[in-house]
Amino acid sequence: MSKVWLLLASLFFYGWWNPLYVTLIISSILVNYGFHKLIKAQHNGGRKKMLLVIGIGLNVSVLGYYKYADFFISNFNALTGDNYNLLHIILPLGISFFTFQQIAFLVDTYKDVVEEMELLNYALFVSFFPQLIAGPIVHHAEMMPQFFDQSKKRINAENISKGLFVFNMGLAKKVIVADAFGKIANAGYGHASILGTIDSWVTSLAYTVQLYFDFSGYTDMAIGIALFFNIIIPNNFWSPYKSSSIKEFWRKWHMTLSRFLRDYIYIPLGGNRKGAFRTRLNLMATFLIGGIWHGAGWTFLFWGFLHGLGLVIHSFFEKLKIRIPYVVGLGITFLFVNMAWVFFRAESWGDALHVLNSMIHLETTGEGFKLISQLYDFPIWVAGVVLLFAPNSQEFAERFQINARHAVVIVVLTVLNVTFLNSSIDQEFLYFDF
């Protein structure tokens, strides 16, 4: 009965934004569950593989329609000179996340590493509301045993306390830090063509800080809420901006997406088993797919290309056994990631190129400085830098104990969050758009 209640709560949560899209996620669950049953029942290898290909194709087609239809139409119009109307489709929340999650499940079903599953358990695995909207991208092997564990049906005061602590840390990341830097980033990218050098650096760095605290904040909130139900979902970030190489960065940034790309794209392409050239080609293909997954635009594809290129270059350094001092590697990696984020955030190629050009060529314009100079809030930047290089929220969570000191921290964070939730800054989570 508890699983039924949790499933209904998850569907209600998803439908709060737009009740019509509840039918989409239910249909997706039913269709993928049907393919799970068909694949499990099939003993002919060729037919089994055909069912997998059809199942993946349907998932990708649905995702493609909602996420990329207008992108393809606009590019087709640009190439042919036609003027087909855009569909202006509203992207359903979380579709990228629950689509990838179900593709992974079908692949594992095909590999016979998944036992036959009841519909209720599968539906709960897909729709569990804390991570439904923006991840982490959970794996059936880490979730299903928890749903079957009878001990998790009891109230656990320690998990509730720790969940409240982690949730409030995540919410503070969002409403106190990310939204403050988001105000700066939005002002800069909203007027990219008139920014000078200082403005462009401030704008790019503000978005770099905003994106991390926004997305990792959502992850912390998801982890915290899941703990209320005694469910442990995987961490998604581990101080990625402290990385001294691009390879290390992708082991610490959006870790569940990196895992999915490795296990279900990079390794099936051949991974590193077919020689150095093929390995680098596979890396590039994987990150091009990762780039376009993030958004329907050439800037996202190019962002993926840059990270693929960075990993390819890193592989040459590894082969030559060239070791870069940690501090130098830290600086190079951070600068590379920060400049690549410009393509991720900019509204167009032109805006991205202008911001980067201004950063590199020391262009100054009084107009741009007047626009966002009032946003160079010194305390905000000091807080951002300290928080970026302080222990991360999961390290704090590992030290959590039920005592008076942590109770005071929870109360203070709650009061601060409520105060900032009622402030004039009002921004959605960034990864709701992906």
DSSP secondary structure, 207-241, as one string: HHHHHHHHHHHHHHHHHHHHHHTT-------S-GG
Query: What gap in Å lies between CA 172 and CA 169, rounded to an integer?
Result: 5
Task: State the pLDDT confidence band at 431, using cuts at 50, 70 and 90.
Answer: low
Q: pLDDT at position 60, please?
A: 93
Nearest 5°: CA angle at 173, between 167 and 177?
Answer: 160
Q: What are phi and psi of 195, to 5 degrees?
A: -80, 140
What confidence tens digit (pLDDT) does each residue in 150-175 have? 887 888 888 998 999 999 999 999 98
What pLDDT, on the 0 to 100 scale, is given for residue 434? 59
Is 354 an annotated catalytic residue? no
Q: Which one-letter amino acid corresponds to residue 159?
A: N
Joined together, the tokens standing for residue 303 give: 């962002």
Residues 98 and 140: their CA atoms lie apart, in Å, by 12
Query: What local confidence, expressed as pLDDT, does residue 102 receive?
Result: 94
Distance CA 409, CA 396 (A): 12
The active-site residue, picked from 294, 307, 314, 354, is 294
Question: What's the pLDDT at 413?
Answer: 82
The pLDDT of residue 382 is above 80: no
pLDDT per residue as tens digits for the range 5-23: 888 999 998 888 888 889 9
* 415 C-beta neighbours (distance < 10 Å), count: 11
Average pLDDT of span 369-389: 64
| Domain positions in the chain | 2-153, 157-244+324-433
Q: What is the pTM of this model?
A: 0.88
Average pLDDT, the chain: 87
pLDDT tier, 132 (very low <50, low <70, confident <90, very high otherwise): confident
What whole-number distance in Å separates Cα of residue 299 and Cα of residue 131?
27
Residue 195 Rama label (left phi>0; alpha psi -120 to 50; beta): beta
pLDDT of residue 303: 96
Distance from C-alpha of 90 to C-alpha of 67, rounded to nearest angstrom: 8
d(Cα 286, Cα 261) in Å, to the nearest integer? 7
User: Is 184 buried (19+), middle (13-18) or exposed (0-12) by CB count in 10 A?
Assistant: buried
Q: What is the pLDDT of residue 177?
A: 87
**Residue 396's pLDDT band (boundaries 50, 70, 90)?**
confident
382's CB contacts (< 8 A; 6+ apart) are none
pLDDT tens track for 180-217 = 888 889 988 988 888 888 888 989 999 999 999 999 99
